[in-house]
Amino acid sequence: MGKPITVVVIDGHTLTRYGLIRLVSADSEISIVGECGLAAEAPAQIAAALPDVVILDVVLPDADGLRLARELRDRHPALGIVVLTSHDEDDVLFRALETGVSAFVGKTAPNAEVLGAIRHAAVAAASFTATGLASALARRGQVAPRPVTTLALSPREQEVLSLLASGHSVPAIAASMFVSLSTAKTYVSRLYDKLGATNRANAIMAGLRLGLIKSELSATA
């Protein structure tokens, strides 16, 4: 066996936090290295433990969990971030997508889904996964099953759109395409202009609506 995945749990609900710790600790491939109930305590916990993954609640007693997630992503680009939520609204899911977290999981999800999200976050911190993402995008964009489009993307633009759809951040897109960060930002900006999008979610919805994305989201549906 290799090195266990190290995890810090941040949740203001004591019973939920300890339940997560018990669930994760039962898996021999995952190890809890820290836990706390407040966003204010999180930076010190993470700096001390240097975990592979942090699990945090969308709603914390002293802060917005997604705002904390954004701060953690900026400070620790390689950190896997799993967000747990008891709110299954599409808007919350899209906020998580834009924030740069690795996985978005409902608190009522099966244990296997939670553990799967941790494993995903450990190996693909820059890639987003969420059960029901494709359905949420379809509701938001009113996607037609077999749309017809005359919009043509260049091979580079199609590659960027596919990477965005699979949840890659701009730095991850740059690494995947073997280009500089500034070049990747230019590609993304041009794609947004062509699709009439202002952010990742808009671009993905436009891609689905126009038939430019077919199976990229099937793993998260």
Domains in the chain, CATH or no CATH each: 5-130 (3.40.50.2300), 137-220 (3.40.50.2300)
Question: pLDDT band at residue 214, thresholds of 50, 70 and 90?
Answer: low
Question: How much is the pTM?
Answer: 0.72
What is the three-state SS of the chain?
Answer: CCCCEEEEEECCCHHHHHHHHHHHHCCCCEEEEEEECCHHHHHHHHHHHCCCEEEEECEECCEEHHHHHHHHHHHCCCCEEEEEECCCCHHHHHHHHHHCCCEEEECCCCHHHHHHHHHHHHHCCCCCEECCHHHHHHHHHCCCCCCCCCCCCCHHHHHHHHHHHCCCCHHHHHHHHCCCHHHHHHHHHHHHHHHCCCCHHHHHHHHHHCCCCCCCCHHHC
Q: Give per-residue pLDDT as tens, 24-73.
A: 999 999 999 999 999 999 999 999 999 999 999 999 999 999 999 999 98
